[in-house]
């Protein structure tokens, strides 16, 4: 979604801001802009398309000032045009604004402002908010000391704004100061050496400072190069804050020798899994332990059921966790799309423990589901990757994934670490109930072995790439799996369609007869997940049904599965493993297959069309 970067310091602002915007490119956007206050005027450059286009435009603007801000826009109100790109400047020329989010009552405010002589150049809700700030700025009496009317005018405008926002504001009369505020859209202050920054994502500023303050909803910050203050939007009272240290560096968010972030992150998975499990097994070697759940073992024993909510890939991880909790702990679990749960009015039983999973910790639907569950009085725990994110902060407790920044829009290492943490959670809950010490030890050992099994699958990358070359021209594909691999089939289909634009569907293998089999022909290959287990012969029967209808078959099968001759056109082998680890091991070939097919088709893998890394609008 949209990205924000602001800078005040001694360096030339525009190159720093543009560099920051490049680091936010992975979030998805369709235009970009920058403004620098210099020579007593706002120097604004904006351009549709990539940040590279903006860079070209910026060269013509001869930016030299040391104070400014930039934005990447993912269109919501108004089409993708230069005029609609941010920053916006108020029609009286006094205020410049960049904004993530949606101002829902923009039409009413616009009408009010049109009646007071303000004019508009764009179709955006952002320009409306910009003019509203200018309106209040013009009305606000100058303060005796400093220019507090800048902050006050932003605060007053926000009192009338309904919706979500992460904003950064500049005032022509107040060089060297930025005002920034948030409600539902993340903002992080960077506290540098004689310089201050603000961004929607740590990645944009971590090259300049690792000292950050995560702004909270309902807070407004006033930044200068050497100091900052935070107050509440509602009352203007001082708000307490802590300066956190980011625990990763810019090198973690760089491509290195890889062609794409997605490729890098697929290959990082063994290490990501090691990081996600580090220190999280109990000393007796039979269960997991988590530091931040904020729920006592006794409270946990009182829980009678679980509800999991998430979106997209993270929901697929929840579905696998559902399977494993049922299996290891024999407890009922329900999973739902966060976007549905928030409006469904699902009846929840009294002793339900609510979980959300989110890589970014900012997905608005997941956040809304969390808030809805909390409002109903339930305790909500979160599995989150991004430290300090809104979901991490609002949850009652949780588990950090610790896999470092995930830059590729298509989630990979965050997914497998969510699978791992889900398995550890199932083990933890199981061991509190009927799962024996011996079974617990077996699962712990299996999970500890997961990184090496993933390494073995990764060694097959050249083989999978060769298959991808043969299948890249198809326009439809089915992914079929059963039990804990059904969500992996869903994930395979999601990965393929989001990065290669091939229509793909994930289905439980046996369910395929009830509809999707109509799609099967020599033009529609099926990817089957075939682990060795109780129902392997049933899966093989489903493969035969596809083959009988001339559908090409790709089998991702355990090493010990004997496939009838000629049944599969392509075979990718995965190592034998425990059920707790199987979904992790099976996820890797579907990731690689989708990745190589997308590369083969010449797709922009890390920036797929229409998609955003973290979906902060509804
Ligand atoms: C797909 C993908 C998305 C996200 C979804 C939730 O590859 O990445 O489906 O999984 O938008 O995002 P988070 O996990 O950040 O809440």
How far is 277 from 288, CA to CA, in rounded Å? 9
Compute, in angstroms, the gap from residue 196 CA to the centroid of ligand 1. 30
Same domain, yes or no: 141 and 194: yes
User: 610 pLDDT exceeds 80?
Assistant: no
Compute, in angstroms, the gap from residue 359 CA to the centroid of ligand 1. 7
Strand blocks (E) in 67-130: 67-73, 88-89, 95-100
Lowest mean pLDDT among 19-33, 80-94, 479-493: 19-33
In order of 220, 337, 362, the CA distances from 368 in angstroms are 22, 11, 10
Per the structure, the complete domain to which residue 316 belongs is given by 255-448
Q: Mutate which of 74, 310, 359 to test ligand 1's pocket (most atoms within 8 Å of Cβ)?
A: 359
User: 534 pLDDT exceeds 60?
Assistant: yes
Compute, in angstroms, the gap from residue 231 CA to the centroid of ligand 1. 32
Per the domain annotation, does 71 fall within a domain? yes
Instruction: Report the predicted TM-score, pTM, of the whole model to 2 decimal places.
Output: 0.83
Q: Does 360 contact ligand 1 (Cβ within 6 A)?
A: yes
Closest C-alpha to 213, from 176, 174, 239: 239
Domain boundary among the residues 250, 284, 313 is at 250
Same domain, yes or no: 330 and 386: yes
Per the domain annotation, does 94 fall within a domain? yes
Q: Does 410 contact ligand 1 (Cβ within 6 A)?
A: yes
The pLDDT, as a whole number, for residue 537 is 93
Per the domain annotation, does 140 fall within a domain? yes
Q: Mutate which of 1, 27, 314, 501 to test ligand 1's pocket (most atoms within 8 Å of Cβ)?
A: 314
The pLDDT, as a whole number, for residue 2 is 85
Same domain, yes or no: 245 and 299: no
Q: Does 66 contact ligand 1 (Cβ within 6 A)?
A: no
The pLDDT, as a whole number, for residue 147 is 58
Q: Does 312 contact ligand 1 (Cβ within 6 A)?
A: yes
Q: What is the DSSP string of 441-468?
A: HHHHHHHHHHHHHHHHHHTTHHHHHHHH
Domain boundary among the residues 231, 250, 269 is at 250
The tens digit of pLDDT for each residue in 65-80 reads 999 999 999 887 788 8
The pLDDT, as a whole number, for residue 256 is 87
Q: What is the mean pLDDT of residues 495-508?
A: 96
Compute, in angstroms, the gap from residue 185 CA to the centroid of ligand 1. 16
User: 221 pLDDT exceeds 60?
Assistant: yes
Backbone angles phi, psi at 250, to 5 degrees: -65, -30
Q: Does 210 contact ligand 1 (Cβ within 6 A)?
A: no
Instruction: Tell me the pLDDT of the chain averaged across its residues.
Output: 94
In order of 7, 142, 258, 284, 451, the CA distances from 166 in angstroms are 16, 26, 33, 47, 38
Q: Does 275 contact ligand 1 (Cβ within 6 A)?
A: no
Nearest-CA residue for atom 10 of ligand 1: 313
Q: Mutate which of 27, 313, 405 to test ligand 1's pocket (most atoms within 8 Å of Cβ)?
A: 313
Inter-residue contact 554 to 568 (CB < 8 Å)? yes
- The residues, any chain, with a CB within 8 Å of residue 528's CB and separated by 6 or more, are 480, 481, 509, 539, 542, 543, 546, 553, 554, 555, 556, 557, 568
The pLDDT, as a whole number, for residue 203 is 87
User: Active-site residue numbers?
Assistant: 2, 613
Compute, in angstroms, the gap from residue 347 CA to the centroid of ligand 1. 26
Helix (H) or strand (E) holding 210: none
The pLDDT, as a whole number, for residue 76 is 78
Per the domain annotation, does 614 fall within a domain? no
What's the burial of 375, exposed, middle or buried (CB within 10 Å: 0-12/13-18/19+)? exposed
Q: What is the mean pLDDT of residues 259-265?
A: 96
CATH code assigned at 136: 3.60.20.10
The pLDDT, as a whole number, for residue 348 is 85
Q: Does 591 contact ligand 1 (Cβ within 6 A)?
A: no
How far is 407 from 428, CA to CA, in rounded Å? 30
How far is 98 from 86, CA to CA, in rounded Å? 6
The pLDDT, as a whole number, for residue 143 is 64
Same domain, yes or no: 497 and 588: yes
How far is 23 from 26, CA to CA, in rounded Å? 7
DSSP 362: -
Compute, in angstroms, the gap from residue 311 CA to the centroid of ligand 1. 6
Inter-residue contact 18 to 3 (CB < 8 Å)? no
The tens digit of pLDDT for each residue in 181-193 reads 999 888 999 999 9
Q: Does 500 contact ligand 1 (Cβ within 6 A)?
A: no
Q: What is the DSSP string of 236-297?
A: --B-----EE-SS-GGGGS-TT-SSHHHHHHHTHHHHHHHHHTT-B-TTSSSB--SS----H
Q: Mutate which of 315, 411, 415 to test ligand 1's pocket (most atoms within 8 Å of Cβ)?
A: 411
Q: Does 313 contact ligand 1 (Cβ within 6 A)?
A: yes
Same domain, yes or no: 237 and 279: no
Q: What is the mean pLDDT of residues 495-524?
A: 94
Per the domain annotation, does 613 fall within a domain? no
Backbone angles phi, psi at 326, to 5 degrees: -60, -40
Same domain, yes or no: 274 and 369: yes
CATH code assigned at 541: 3.40.50.10490
How far is 547 from 25, CA to CA, in rounded Å? 43
Compute, in angstroms, the gap from residue 358 CA to the centroid of ligand 1. 7
Q: From the alpha carbon of 311, which atom of ligand 1 is closest?
A: 6
Same domain, yes or no: 66 and 32: yes
The pLDDT, as a whole number, for residue 611 is 76
Q: Mutate which of 309, 311, 412 to test ligand 1's pocket (most atoms within 8 Å of Cβ)?
A: 311
Q: What is the mean pLDDT of residues 543-572?
A: 96
The pLDDT, as a whole number, for residue 146 is 54
Same domain, yes or no: 119 and 199: yes
Q: From the alpha carbon of 409, which atom of ligand 1 is closest?
A: 8
Q: Does 615 contact ligand 1 (Cβ within 6 A)?
A: yes
Considering its fold, how many domains does the chain have in total?
3
Q: From the alpha carbon of 360, which atom of ligand 1 is closest?
A: 15
Q: Mutate which of 203, 318, 363, 366 to test ligand 1's pocket (most atoms within 8 Å of Cβ)?
A: 363
Compute, in angstroms, the gap from residue 491 CA to the centroid of ligand 1. 11
Per the domain annotation, does 174 fall within a domain? yes
Q: Does 314 contact ligand 1 (Cβ within 6 A)?
A: yes
Nearest-CA residue for atom 6 of ligand 1: 311
Q: Does 389 contact ligand 1 (Cβ within 6 A)?
A: no
Query: What percent of the chain has pLDDT above 90?
Result: 83
Alpha carbon of residue 196 to chain centroid: 26
Lowest mean pLDDT among 211-220, 230-239, 343-352: 343-352
Q: Does 539 contact ligand 1 (Cβ within 6 A)?
A: no
Same domain, yes or no: 101 and 189: yes
The pLDDT, as a whole number, for residue 573 is 98
Q: What is the mean pLDDT of residues 108-130?
A: 96
Same domain, yes or no: 316 and 188: no
Q: Does 407 contact ligand 1 (Cβ within 6 A)?
A: no
Compute, in angstroms, the gap from residue 486 CA to the centroid of ligand 1. 18
Domain boundary among the residues 227, 250, 273 is at 250
How far is 362 from 473, CA to CA, in rounded Å? 36
Same domain, yes or no: 39 and 121: yes
Nearest-CA residue for atom 3 of ligand 1: 312
Q: Does 265 contact ligand 1 (Cβ within 6 A)?
A: no
The tens digit of pLDDT for each residue in 132-174 reads 999 999 987 766 555 588 999 999 999 999 999 999 999 999 9
Per the domain annotation, does 401 fall within a domain? yes
Compute, in angstroms, the gap from residue 510 CA to the centroid of ligand 1. 27
Per the domain annotation, does 481 fall within a domain? yes
The tens digit of pLDDT for each residue in 307-331 reads 999 999 999 999 999 999 999 999 9
Q: Does 390 contact ligand 1 (Cβ within 6 A)?
A: no
Same domain, yes or no: 389 and 491: no
Compute, in angstroms, the gap from residue 258 CA to the centroid of ligand 1. 22
Compute, in angstroms, the gap from residue 367 CA to the centroid of ligand 1. 13
């Amino acid at each position: 979604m949209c990205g924000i970067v602001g800078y005040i310091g001694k360096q030339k602002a525009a190159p720093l801001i543009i560099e920051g915007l490049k680091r936010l490119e992975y979030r998805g956007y369709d235009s970009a802009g920058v403004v620098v206050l210099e020579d007593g005027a706002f120097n604004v450059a904006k351009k549709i398309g990539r940040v590279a286009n903006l860079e070209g435009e910026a060269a013509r603007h001869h930016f030299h000032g040391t104070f400014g801000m930039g934005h990447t826009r993912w269109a919501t109100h108004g089409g993708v045009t230069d005029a609609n790109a941010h920053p916006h400047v108020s029609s009286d020329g006094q205020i410049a604004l960049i904004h993530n989010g949606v101002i829902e009552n923009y039409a009413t405010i616009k009408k009010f402002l049109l009646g007071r002589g303000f004019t508009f150049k764009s179709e955006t809700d952002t320009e409306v908010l910009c003019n509203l700030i200018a309106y209040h700025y013009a009305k606000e009496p100058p303060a005796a000391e400093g220019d507090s009317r800048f902050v006050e005018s932003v605060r007053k405008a926000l009192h009338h704004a309904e919706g979500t926002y992460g904003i950064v504001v500049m005032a022509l009369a107040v060089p060297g100061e930025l005002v920034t505020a948030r409600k539902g859209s993340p903002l992080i202050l960077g506290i540098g050496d004689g310089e201050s920054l603000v961004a929607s994502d740590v990645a944009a500023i971590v090259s300049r400072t690792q000292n950050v303050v995560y702004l909270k909803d309902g807070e407004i910050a006033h930044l200068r190069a050497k100091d900052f203050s935070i107050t509440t939007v509602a009352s203007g009272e001082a708000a307490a804050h802590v300066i956190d240290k980011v625990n990763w560096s810019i090198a973690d968010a760089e491509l290195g020798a890889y062609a794409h972030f997605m490729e890098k992150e697929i290959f990082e998975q063994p290490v990501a899994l090691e990081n996600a499990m580090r220190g999280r097994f109990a000393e007796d070697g039979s269960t997991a332990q988590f530091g931040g759940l904020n729920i006592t073992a006794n409270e946990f024993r009182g829980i009678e059921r679980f509800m999991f909510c998430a979106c997209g890939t993270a929901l697929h991880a929840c579905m696998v966790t559902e399977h494993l909790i049922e299996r290891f702990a024999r407890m009922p679990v329900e999973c739902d799309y966060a976007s549905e749960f928030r409006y469904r009015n699902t009846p929840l039983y009294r002793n339900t423990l609510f979980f959300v999973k989110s890589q970014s910790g900012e997905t608005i639907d997941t956040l809304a589901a969390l808030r809805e569950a909390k409002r109903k009085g339930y305790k909500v725990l979160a599995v989150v990757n991004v430290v300090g994110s809104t979901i991490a902060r609002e949850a009652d407790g949780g588990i950090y994934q610790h896999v470092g920044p995930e830059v590729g829009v298509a989630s990979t290492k965050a997914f497998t670490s969510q699978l791992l943490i889900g398995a550890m959670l199932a083990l933890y809950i199981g061991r509190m109930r009927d799962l024996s010490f011996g079974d617990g030890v077996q699962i712990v050992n299996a999970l500890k072995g997961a990184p090496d099994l993933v390494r073995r699958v990764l060694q097959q990358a050249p083989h999978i790439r060769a298959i991808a070359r043969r299948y890249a021209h198809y326009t439809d594909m089915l992914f079929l799996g059963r039990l804990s691999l059904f969500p992996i089939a869903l994930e395979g289909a999601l990965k393929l369609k989001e990065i290669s634009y091939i229509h793909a569907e994930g289905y439980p293998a046996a369910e395929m007869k009830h509809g999707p089999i109509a799609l099967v022909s020599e033009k529609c290959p099926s990817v089957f997940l075939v682990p060795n287990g109780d129902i392997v012969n049933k899966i093989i029967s489903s493969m035969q049904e596809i083959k009988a209808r001339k559908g090409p078959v790709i089998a991702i099968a355990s090493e010990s599965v004997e496939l009838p001759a000629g049944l599969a056109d392509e075979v990718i082998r995965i190592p034998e493993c425990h059920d707790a680890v199987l979904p992790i091991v099976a996820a890797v070939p579907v990731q690689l297959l989708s990745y190589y097919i997308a590369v083969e088709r010449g797709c922009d893998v890390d920036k797929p069309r229409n998609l955003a890394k973290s979906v902060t609008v509804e």
